[in-house]
Amino acid sequence: MTSLKQMQFTVLADNIIEFERFFDIACFALGLKTSSFNFKKNLPLVLVHEAANVSFTALVGFGRWGDNYWQSEVNKSLFISENPDVMVELRSAGKNKLFAIEFC
DSSP letter for 78, please.
S
The span from the CA of 60 to the CA of 2, in Å, is: 30
Mean pLDDT by 10 residues, the chain (104 residues): 77 91 96 94 90 93 59 55 81 88 86
What does the angle CA 94 – CA 95 – CA 100 come to, to the nearest 5 degrees? 145
Residue type, 56: F
The answer to whether 53 and 4 are in contact (CB under 8 A) is: yes
0.85 surpassed by pTM: no
Backbone angles phi, psi at 45, to 5 degrees: -70, 130
* Cα–Cα distance list, 11 to 14, 69, 75 (Å): 10, 14, 17
Question: Alpha-carbon distance 46 to 31, whole Å?
Answer: 19
